[in-house]
């Protein structure tokens, strides 16, 4: 899995696709490693700790990847030609320069 992630990091054209290749195997690889630790230790008290660690990883990896992707988009460090659908641009068009949501010309929510 790490080899597939490494190949994706080298071959993919921009940060968003490279980030996808790097984060997907991470969660499953951690599950396999934690399972090996649980089987190797043969202690029942390790199972809740391992499950807690894996759930924490499941909750934090998508959030961190989302934040990196969003900052990449806002700083324009991506190739827009590779995007198939751009939902974030519509949201950013509704937000004014000061961060206020606008309903139309001159109207602020």
Predicted confidence (pLDDT) per residue in 84-93, tens digit: 777 777 777 7
C-beta atoms surrounding 19 within 10 Å: 19
Q: What is the pLDDT of residue 101?
A: 60
What b/e string do you get for 70-89 counting C-beta neighbours within 10 Å, with b at 16 or more? eeebeeeebeeeeeeeeeee
Is residue 8's pLDDT more than 80? yes
Q: What is the pLDDT of residue 44?
A: 85
Could you tell me the pTM of the whole model? 0.61
- Look at 107 and 22; give whichever has higher pLDDT: 22
Is residue 59's pLDDT more than 60? yes
Q: What angle do CA 77, 78, 83 make, to 5 degrees?
A: 155
Question: Which helix (DSSP H) or strand (DSSP E) does residue 104 occupy?
Answer: strand 102-104
Are 29 and 59 in contact by the 8 Å Cβ rule? The answer is no
Calculate mean pLDDT across residues 64-68. 84
């Amino acid at each position: 899995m790490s080899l597939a992630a490494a190949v994706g990091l080298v071959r993919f054209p921009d940060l968003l696709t490279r980030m996808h290749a790097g984060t997907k195997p991470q969660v499953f690889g951690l599950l396999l490693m934690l399972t090996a630790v649980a089987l190797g230790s043969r202690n029942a008290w390790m199972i809740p700790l391992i499950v807690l660690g894996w759930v924490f990883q499941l909750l934090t990896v998508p959030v961190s990847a989302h934040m990196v992707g969003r900052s990449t988009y806002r700083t324009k460090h991506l190739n827009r030609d590779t995007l198939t659908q751009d939902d974030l641009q519509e949201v950013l068009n509704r937000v004014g320069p000061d961060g206020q949501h606008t309903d139309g010309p001159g109207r602020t929510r």
